[in-house]
Amino acid sequence: MSVSAVTPPPSPAKIRARKGGTPLVCLTAYTTPVAQLVDPHCDIVLVGDSVGMVLHGLPSTLGVTMEMMSLHGRAVARGLKQAMLVVDMPFASYEESPQQAFRNAARLMAETGAAAVKLEGGVHMAETIAFLVARGVPVMAHIGLTPQSFNTLGGYKVQGRGAEADKVLADARAVAEAGAFSVVLEKLPESLSRRITEEVAIPTIGIGASPACDGQILVIDDMLGLFTEFQPKFVKRYAELGAEAEKAIAAYAEEVRARTFPAPEHVFSDEGKGK
């Protein structure tokens, strides 16, 4: 019996080498079953700190802990065979010092098997990125709208407009020069995202950025339409699973109350037939 070959996950170095090539496909995942679904189709699977809002009902990502990231990172790792696993560094796990960042990044990589970590910040995090990379920790950077800093940014608004463009461009250059193997560009004007993609030597991964980016990422629950009450402008819904799930749950509830479920085919007889 022939066994289909499974392509091993790309390394951070191979992802970096994809600059200007076929766009990188990236999605988030937080559980083993979802990881198994996205694995054959993605180059990178990110265990984002968005897990706090998506699965735990938190109002922001600020309450996400190292324990949560490790737990979900391990769950996703069990479902991946082909895609590269990246795990977010949660708020307050890396900002204090490069040494703190290394301890926590090393812990996440050791506990989850992740190939890399992602952290937010540009110029002010360049020293930390360089410190991590020099010690064997591949880093995916994240600039533009950085959700962990939404309080100081004034909310979840577009970044890099007008005079802010130079600052974001400086952030992109700083993280690339510090050794990040890729950089997420979130909620930036299309023209600025295109310029950054053209000017930096590492792949850019857009979320609310530009089709010119070297890759794209979305939160899996957003693109599947699991949340019907909120849809960011930059999200395209490829399904409406939330509405379908609600319809199925309502049908189940109706049948239970009407005693039409379980039906004869769902129960066991006295003859010992069936499992």
Binding residue ranges for Mg(2+) = 49, 88, 120
**Residue 116 backbone dihedrals phi, psi, to 5 degrees:** -165, 165
Sequence ranges of the binding site for 3-methyl-2-oxobutanoate = 49-50, 88, 118
Sequence ranges of the binding site = 49-50, 88, 118, 120
Structure letter (DSSP) for residue 225: T
DSSP codes joined into one string, 167-188: HHHHHHHHHHHHT-SEEEEES-
User: Burial of 2 by CB count in 10 Å (0-12 exposed, 13-18 middle, 19+ buried)?
Assistant: exposed
Residue among 111, 186, 198, 246 flagged as catalytic: 186
240 is annotated as an active-site residue? no
- Give the integer Cα–Cα distance in Å for 182 and 175: 9
- Give the integer Cα–Cα distance in Å for 49 and 264: 45
Q: Identify whether the C-beta of residue 31 lies closer than 8 Å to the C-beta of residue 48.
A: no
- Give the integer Cα–Cα distance in Å for 48 and 71: 12
- Give the integer Cα–Cα distance in Å for 179 and 141: 9
Crossing angle for the helix pair 164-178 and 190-199, nearest 10 degrees? 30
Secondary structure of residue 163 in the 3-state scheme? coil
User: Burial of 149 by CB count in 10 Å (0-12 exposed, 13-18 middle, 19+ buried)?
Assistant: middle
- Annotated catalytic residues are 186
